[in-house]
């Protein structure tokens, strides 16, 4: 009987009770070409781990435009362009202020950086660093994001 209950739980009830993933958009910022290409990482405000600029969708903006807005606010990226379609996605557990974690799927847009400002909204809250794709893959925590860097 326990096997049957577990099968019903795993196959039907548990998926019904799971929270749907929330959606974020992110900017995979890069400069240069070929083996000289570098990627821009920033630190998160809470733990200081290395991430790419990301945030919630913004009403009135397309997803790639919202990713550009996050690149500006978190890394100072200006006058740049993002791909229309995402180049990939990754999932992670976002910790809320309450301590509760929610699943988030993050759509990643490639951003060719044209200009980088020293003054930007979160300049005093984050560090930023240009690194190779291989180095970026080692510095970020999310497995799927590591794979995106490895494909670059």
Nearest to 28 by CA among 79, 70, 78, 91: 70
Q: Which of 5-19, 36-50, 116-130, 138-152 has the lowest mean pLDDT?
A: 5-19
pLDDT-derived band at 5 (thresholds 50, 70, 90) equals low
CATH code of the domain covering residue 146 = 3.90.79.10
Residue 60 is assigned to a structural domain of this protein: yes
- E strand or H helix that includes residue 60: none
pLDDT in the model for residue 57 = 96
Q: Considering its fold, how many domains does the chain have in total?
A: 1
Of 64, 91, 78, the C-alpha closest to 31 is 78
pLDDT (tens digit, 9 = 90+) per residue, 22-80? 899 999 999 999 889 999 999 999 889 999 999 999 999 999 999 999 999 999 999 99
Q: Is residue 123, in this structure, part of any structural domain at all?
A: yes
Domain that holds residue 108: 20-150
Domain-embedded: residue 13 = no
């Amino acid at each position: 009987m326990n096997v049957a209950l577990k099968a019903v739980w795993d196959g039907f009830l548990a998926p019904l009770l799971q929270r749907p993933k929330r959606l974020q958009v992110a900017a995979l910022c890069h400069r240069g070409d070929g083996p000289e290409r570098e990627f821009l990482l920033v630190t998160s405000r809470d733990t200081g781990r290395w991430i790419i600029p990301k945030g919630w969708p913004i009403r009135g903006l397309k997803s790639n435009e919202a990713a550009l807005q996050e690149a500006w606010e978190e890394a100072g990226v200006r006058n740049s362009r993002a791909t229309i379609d995402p180049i990939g996605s990754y999932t992670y557990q976002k910790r809320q202020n309450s301590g509760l974690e929610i699943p988030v799927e993050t759509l990643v847009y490639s951003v060719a950086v044209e200009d980088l400002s020293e003054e930007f909204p979160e300049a005093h809250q984050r560090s930023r660093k240009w690194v190779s794709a291989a180095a970026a893959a080692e510095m970020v925590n999310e497995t799927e994001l590591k794979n995106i860097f490895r494909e670059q």
